[in-house]
Amino acid sequence: MLRLEEAGLCTAPALDAFSGDVVPGELLAIVGPNGAGKTTLLTMLAGLRLPDSGRLTLDAVDLRDWTPQSLASRRAIVAQRDVPNFAWRVRDLVTLGGTPSVARLERTLESMQLTAFSERVVTELSGGESQRVMIARALCQLAPRPEDATRPKAGGILLLDEPTSALDIGQQQRLMRLLARCARDDGLAIVCVLHDLNLAARYAHRVWLLKAGRRVAAGTPENVLTAERVANAFDAELTLLDTIDGGERVLLLDR
């Protein structure tokens, strides 16, 4: 488990200190307006920028004490516009940094709808296709190694910065369903920075709402993504629509 203990960043871009857990088996959505600190927080969770105050621990060990190699086996990150400039074959790039079994590789390619592109060069793909390749690479990085039968199945941390930004509506839904399934079935702790609040409401187990470098709310989507709270964070006018079947919520802009 990844745990923040009054962790914060004092130098710009700064984050007010707070405590919280990133839990295996859950999909956590980080939402907020532009400039709220979402990517900055993700960078800190990844260990790329260590907190100036408090502690950030993985399995109760300070992130400062993890070696890069050990951390890479437990944590994968997909940044915005994380597209390689080298002419890698898709299949080769997906396995870069990990050694998944052949069955796991083929299953990951299929789940990301990349099987038909597996022999193509990544520089020839569209933005959405490239984004799916990088997510597949991260999933394979966290996959158990075939030769290491003793490695625990659960515990990987997958950090995604706006993973749906280059995808169409159908691909967004399929990706979010896949991530929720990976959290549940593979014991991953998945953190997604999302701009689409409806995706967060539909697929996330928990939500952290940020505003101006502060976490202003945390909890279930039902408790965090209220019309009043979201309107205040985004300085927007909107309506919360409750659907009849399934009890799902949809946030609509007011006219």
* Structural domains of the chain ordered from first start: 2-222 (3.40.50.300)
Tokens linked to 170:
């159908």
**Section 64-91 average pLDDT:** 88
Is the pLDDT at 185 greater than 60? The verdict is: yes
Question: With 0-12 CB in 10 A as exposed, 13-18 as middle and 19+ as buried, what is 10?
Answer: exposed
- Render pLDDT for 131-159 as a digit per residue (tens, 0 to 9): 899 999 999 999 877 655 455 445 699 99
Amino acid at site 150:
T
Q: How far apart are CA 3 and CA 94, in angstroms?
A: 29
pTM of the complete model: 0.90
**Section 119-129 average pLDDT:** 91
Closest CA to 47 of 25, 71, 30: 71
What pLDDT score was predicted for residue 154? 53
Tokens linked to 194:
């999302």
What pLDDT score was predicted for residue 244? 44
